[in-house]
Structure 1
Amino acid sequence: MRFKAILNNPVGLHTELGQTMEKLGPVCIASFATDKLRFITYQDNVVGTQAWTDLAATCLFSDYRIESQHHNEINFFFKIPDLLHITKDLSEITRIQVGLKRRGDQNIILFRWTGVNFVGSKSMEQKELPIELVRRDRLELIKEPVTIRTPETYILLPPLISLKPASEQFKKLSKYITIAANMNGELRIEVESAYAVCSAQFDNLNNPSLSGHDPTGDPTEFSHVRIKSEDFLNFLSCTYLEPDDVICNIANETQIVFLVYLNLDMYQNEDAPIRSMNMNPNRCQLTCHLPIYFD
C-alpha cells in the first residue's frame, strides 16, 4: 500500500476544506482513489449532519501516486483538528511532500518541506497526521443518504453569508427553524417560539434545472422542512469555501439536501502544474444532508 504526492494547495486544504469540515463534524473519512478524492464527515450511530465532498486529486496534489490491493484505493479516518494543526502554517510553503508511512503500530500521513529560519538557513521540517486505515468492507457500510424522492423545490441560494445574521438571531429564539422555498424564486427562513414568530424572506432567486425532472405543480407553492438551528448555522460555515453556487433541494416534510459547488484551483501555489487558460477548472462538490425534525 503506497501513497505519495506533492501538496500544491495547502490553502485549499486548510482554509477551504478543513475549516468547513470541522464545523460539520470532528472526524473525517478520506477515500483516495487513482484520480478522485472523497472526504466524508460521518459519525456511527449519531443522527446529525453528513457531508460528502468529491474532488479531483489534481485540486490538491501533483505527482500523485497511489497503490493498493483494493483497486488502488486507500481509505482512512483522521481527526480534523489534527489536520488543521498541521496545515495552518503551510500557506506560504511550496514543495510539500506527503506520503503514507508507518511509525511503529501507527499509520501516519507524513508532511515534509524545506523550511527557512530567521537567519536564512534551510532545514527539512515535517509533521505527522495520525490515521486509522479503513477496510473496504467497513467503508461499504457507510452509505450516503439516498434521495427518498424527487424534490418538489430546488433553488439557488443567495450568498451564504447573507443568511447568517437572521439565522444567528433565530437560533436565540428556538432550537428549530423551518426552511421553505418554492419554484418561483422565493426562500423563507422561519422560527416560532413562545414569544414570537419571525421570518426572513429572500426573493428573485433562481430555480435551476434538475436533470430528469420537469416540475408540473404550482410554482408559488412552498415546500418546507424543520431542522435544527445549530445544524443550519454549521452548514453556513461553507462560506469558508467561497462557493460558486449552492443549490437547496427540498422534498416537502421529508428531506433537505444542499449541493455546494466550488473551484479550489484558484488557491493552488506555484508548485501546481501550469494549466491552460482554456481548460475548465476542476469543480469540487460538497453534498450536505441535514436531518429533519417534526413538531
Structure 2
Amino acid sequence: MLQSVEKLNKTCVLKFTRDKIFLIVSKIELTELQVWGQVAINLLFEDFIIESANNNEIWLEVRTDQIIRVLKSAQSAIDVYCKLTKKTGLPSLSFNIKSIFRGDNPVLLVQDIPIRVLNMYHISEYKEPMVPQPHVHILMPPLVSVRTIIDRMKSMSNYLTISANYNGEFTLKIETESVSVETYFKDLICPELNQNENSQSQQERPKEQFSGCQISIIDFEKFVHSYVINPSSVICSIIENFAVVFYVYVRNDMSLMDYDQETRQFGALTYYIPAIIA
C-alpha cells in the first residue's frame, strides 16, 4: 500500500487503533487529491499492543521513502518487532529485524525512523472527504492497460473526462480545440453495493445512460500508479460534476458483492479526486 502512494507526497500519516492501521496522504502540493487507506491489524501483526490517552489511537507522520526502505529490508525476515520509542529525546519507530544469514546464523538488524507524533490540533486537520451517493459505480479495467492510455493522453490535455453506465461501458476522453481522443471499454462489471439508496438509484436510472465527471489528468495518473501493488480489483464511483472516487482493494479473497462501502471491512485504498468544472 505504501508503494502505491510513494510518489504522491514525501510524508504520510499512519493512524494506529486497536484493530486497524490507517494510511492517509493529503495536503499534496498543487492538488486536492487525497488518499485514505486501511488494513486490519491482524493481517500485519501476530501480537499488537497500543495504549494512549487519545482513545487508544496514535497518529504518526513519517517519511514515506524511509518506512518503505525499512519494510523492504524486512521482506525475508523471520521475525520483525516494531515499537514507538525515543532516540536522543526524539520520537522514532524502531524496527528489530531478525533474519537468517549464511550458515543458518541469526542476524539482528535495528533500524530507527524519525517520526512526528501528531497532537489533537494537528489530528483535527485530517478529515476524510464526504461525498454524495455515486451516480454509477463500475469495476475498472486493468490499471496496467489504463496506464498505457493515460501516458499518451496526458501530453495532449490537462483534463480527463471519465464516464460510465450500468450497461458495463466505461470511457476515458480528452478534448481540446485541436484534438478529441476517447478510449472505450465494454462488458465491465457493475458490482452491487450494500446501500439501499444507491440500489434504488441504479434501478431508476436507464442502464445505457452515462454519468461523467471531468478531473485532472495528473491526479488520475497518480491514482493509476496504484497498479504497483497488483490490486485484486478497483471500483470507480462517479458523482457527476463533483468527484470520482476509486476503491483499490489489496486482498485477493474479498467478495465484491458483499462489499460494504461504509464499514470497509477489507484492506483498501480510497482515492478522492475532485471534479474540475469548466
Q: Do they fold alike, i.e. is TM over 0.5?
A: yes
Give percent identity, aligned residues only.
27
Deviation at 1:115, TM superposition (A): 4.2
| Alignment partner, residue 287 of structure 1 | 270
CA distance in 2 between counterparts of 1:117 and 1:208 reads 47
Q: Does 1:151 align with 2:139?
A: no
**Range with greater deviation from structure 2 (48-57 or 117-126):** 117-126
CA RMSD of aligned residues (A): 2.1
| Alignment partner, residue 32 of structure 2 | 48
CA-to-partner distance for each residue in 1:43-63, whole Å, 9 max, x for gaps? 178632211101111121111
| Alignment partner, residue 229 of structure 1 | 217
**Would you say the 8 A contact 1:223–1:253 is kept in 2?**
no
Aligned length: 263
Give the TM-score of the pair, scaled to structure 2: 0.87
Select 1:83's aligned residue among 38, 58, 67. Answer: 67
Q: Per the alignment, in what secondary structure is the counterpart of residue 49 of structure 2?
A: strand
| Alignment partner, residue 272 of structure 1 | none
| Alignment partner, residue 246 of structure 2 | 258
In structure 2, the CA distance between the partners of 1:137 and 1:227, relative to structure 1 (3 Å rule), is same
Deviation at 1:144, TM superposition (A): 0.8
CA-to-partner distance for each residue in 1:265-290, whole Å, 9 max, x for gaps? 9xxxxxxxxxxxxxxxx730211101
CA distance in 2 between counterparts of 1:239 and 1:45 reads 22
Give the TM-score of the pair, scaled to structure 1: 0.83
**Would you say the 8 A contact 2:78–2:100 is kept in 1?**
no
Q: Per the alignment, in what secondary structure is the counterpart of residue 23 of structure 1?
A: coil
Q: Does 1:61 align with 2:61?
A: no
**Would you say the 8 A contact 2:70–2:111 is kept in 1?**
yes
| Alignment partner, residue 245 of structure 1 | 233
**Would you say the 8 A contact 1:24–1:50 is kept in 2?**
no
| Alignment partner, residue 274 of structure 1 | none
Letter paired with 1:95: D
Q: Does 1:197 align with 2:197?
A: no
Gaps spanning 5+ residues in structure 2: where? 254-264
| Alignment partner, residue 90 of structure 2 | 106
Letter paired with 1:180: S
| Alignment partner, residue 168 of structure 1 | 151
Letter paired with 1:217: R
Letter paired with 1:225: C
In structure 2, the CA distance between the partners of 1:227 and 1:35, relative to structure 1 (3 Å rule), is same
In structure 2, the CA distance between the partners of 1:160 and 1:21, relative to structure 1 (3 Å rule), is same
| Alignment partner, residue 259 of structure 2 | none
CA distance in 1 between counterparts of 2:182 and 2:220 reads 15
Q: Per the alignment, in what secondary structure is the counterpart of residue 129 of structure 1?
A: strand
CA-to-partner distance for each residue in 1:201-245, whole Å, 9 max, x for gaps? 000111122312212122212111111222111111121222222
**Would you say the 8 A contact 2:139–2:188 is kept in 1?**
yes
Q: Per the alignment, in what secondary structure is the counterpart of residue 86 of structure 1?
A: helix
Letter paired with 1:132: R
**Would you say the 8 A contact 1:23–1:235 is kept in 2?**
no
**Would you say the 8 A contact 2:76–2:99 is kept in 1?**
no
Q: Does 1:141 align with 2:129?
A: no
| Alignment partner, residue 5 of structure 1 | none
CA distance in 2 between counterparts of 1:174 and 1:151 reads 26
Q: Per the alignment, in what secondary structure is the counterpart of residue 207 of structure 2?
A: coil
Relative contact order higher in (CA < 8 Å, ≥ 6 apart): 1
CA distance in 1 between counterparts of 2:12 and 2:97 reads 24
Deviation at 1:256, TM superposition (A): 0.9
CA-to-partner distance for each residue in 1:147-168, whole Å, 9 max, x for gaps? 1x22111111122112111111
Deviation at 1:104, TM superposition (A): 2.1
**Would you say the 8 A contact 2:139–2:189 is kept in 1?**
yes
Select 1:35's aligned residue among 19, 36, 43. Answer: 19
Letter paired with 1:159: P
Q: Does 1:182 align with 2:170?
A: no
CA distance in 2 between counterparts of 1:66 and 1:218 reads 50
CA-to-partner distance for each residue in 1:72-97, whole Å, 9 max, x for gaps? 11111011011122222221112011
CA distance in 1 between counterparts of 2:34 and 2:27 reads 8
